[in-house]
Structure 1
Amino acid sequence: MNKKEFAVIGLGRFGGSICRALSEEGMEVMAMDIDEDKVNEYSTIASHAVVGDSTDESVLKSIGIRNFDLVIVAIGDNLKASILTTIILKELGVKQIWVKAQNDYHEKILSKIGADRIVHPERDMGKRIAHNIISNNVLDYLELSDEHSIIEIVAGQKIDGKSLIELDVRANYGVTIVAMKRGRDIIVSPQATEQIYKGDILIIIGADTDISRFEKNLIEE
């Protein structure tokens, strides 16, 4: 997996949690906020931390915002700033823009101005969003506790045609494949002889560190 570069604009609870989670995964993250105290808080966590007004086009141009692979607009209660920032990012040609929505009205506006993904913090934890951003193979991610999760992940070429007994993921990675989806079929508690094919959706449970190891070794191409 190529290392992508991310920018998080707005370092409240939600933006901060995404910034921290991406940084912990070893990603390049630029953190930006208009509040200097918040920027200072994340200066040792993010790769770069910048004080700036994201509604000022010249500020976004000066930090080379269009060069980032994905920009997350996580501005707090200021709907006007969130909307204007999104518009400017679109006009500057940012590849992917994910925006935190305050409510359904805000979501409708963001949809109309072209946000690529709209996130509701009360429905989507920052850690879950960060995980989905990083891995193209992960379809869904549910945090069970601070250290354990369940994920839906797409099987790739590396494990195409291999059986569960061959992979022995529980012994080798400490994770459990609790179910598999193949087209419309769902296989619950698959047998050890069950073969996995490219495109199968695997539902996996385990510790976050073990899931990450499983992904890096068996899923990422």
Structure 2
Amino acid sequence: MSADRRKPVMVIGLGRFGSAVAGTLERMGHEVLGIDVDPEHVREHKDILTQVVEADSTEISTLRQLGGADFETAVVAIGTNLEASLLTVLALVDMGLPNIWAKANTDRHGRILERTGAHHVVFPEKTMGERVAHIVNERLLDFIAFDGEFAIARLKVPKPIAGLSLIGSECRKRFDVTVVGVKRAGEDFIHAVADTIVFADDELVVSGRIRDIERFSAI
């Protein structure tokens, strides 16, 4: 998220996704106002977040009373209640918030959120599902997709390039992937340069198109 570190963030919906977002923002130094209709969720976060309130976020008057209009960034993490999700986004739009993030469970939900006025729509379950699918094949150790067809991945050094320098392996020329980092057992990741030699037990961090990363990992 591009929320300004110096400004507070409002997180609405403190289920698993919202709780993770809110807690991470707090650890990053943001002040976080958490809002949820479930009193149990509110109790769970009272010692974690800057402020947490039990309230109905679908009512614009309630959000105004909580100072919602003073925020620039809000995260609507309501996933299961479609009506509450949409009405909350609509209330935030009506208040003029310039940076509204919203969680969607389905493509249809996401399209409606966009039309309602959400500036950014995220699909955490879909994203995690894709990530797990790429890791399950056992060639990739970690995988993060972005922009649809591009990704950053962590993988074991493919056997054909073990013992070669990166320039000698011609990873970029032959496979259209860029090796950006190398990890050796017991050492920190190092930034990869052309004359970096990679060994069989190393791990690589590579970037490129998803199909090219998969092809590279399979050589």
- With normalisation by structure 1, the TM-score equals 0.58
* Alpha-carbon distance in structure 1 between the residues aligned to 2:26 and 2:19: 10
Which of 97, 101, 105 is the aligned partner of 1:98? 101
- The residue identity in structure 2 corresponding to 1:176 is I
Q: Which residue of 1 aligns with 2:26?
A: 23
Alpha-carbon spacing, 1:33–1:22, altered in 2? closer, same or farther (3 Å):
same
2:191 paired with 1:177: yes
2:63 paired with 1:60: yes
Following superposition, the deviation at residue 175 of structure 1 comes to: 4.8
The one-character-per-residue Cα deviations of 1:69-97 (angstroms, maximum 9, x if unpaired) are 21000013000000011011001001200
Gaps of 5+ in 2: 129-146, 155-182, 197-204, 207-219
Q: Secondary structure of the equivalent of 1:118?
A: strand
Count how many residue pairs are aligned between Structure 1 and Structure 2: 146
Q: Which residue of 2 aligns with 1:150?
A: none
The one-character-per-residue Cα deviations of 1:139-171 (angstroms, maximum 9, x if unpaired) are 999797xxxxxxxxxxxxxxxxxxxxxxxxx9x
Q: Which residue of 2 aligns with 1:184?
A: none
Alpha-carbon spacing, 1:40–1:116, altered in 2? closer, same or farther (3 Å):
same
Does the 8 Å contact 1:28/1:47 carry over to 2? yes
Does the 8 Å contact 1:66/1:95 carry over to 2? no
2:89 paired with 1:75: no
* Alpha-carbon distance in structure 1 between the residues aligned to 2:33 and 2:117: 22
* Alpha-carbon distance in structure 1 between the residues aligned to 2:153 and 2:88: 30
Q: Which residue of 2 aligns with 1:86?
A: 89
* Alpha-carbon distance in structure 1 between the residues aligned to 2:42 and 2:151: 28
2:52 paired with 1:49: yes
Q: Which has the higher contact order (CA 8 A, sep 6+)?
A: 1
Q: Which residue of 1 aligns with 2:212?
A: none
Which of 98, 106, 110 is the aligned partner of 1:107? 110
Q: Which runs of 4+ in 1 moved over 4 A?
A: 139-144
Alpha-carbon spacing, 1:141–1:89, altered in 2? closer, same or farther (3 Å):
farther
Identity of aligned residues (%): 36
Gaps of 5+ in 1: 126-138, 145-169, 179-188, 193-202, 205-221
* Alpha-carbon distance in structure 2 between the residues aligned to 1:51 and 1:141: 39
Structure possessing the higher radius of gyration over alpha carbons = 2
Q: Which residue of 2 aligns with 1:120?
A: 123
* Alpha-carbon distance in structure 2 between the residues aligned to 1:7 and 1:117: 15
Following superposition, the deviation at residue 124 of structure 1 comes to: 4.7
- With normalisation by structure 2, the TM-score equals 0.59
Q: CA RMSD in A?
A: 3.0
Q: Secondary structure of the equivalent of 1:122?
A: helix
* Alpha-carbon distance in structure 2 between the residues aligned to 1:94 and 1:82: 16
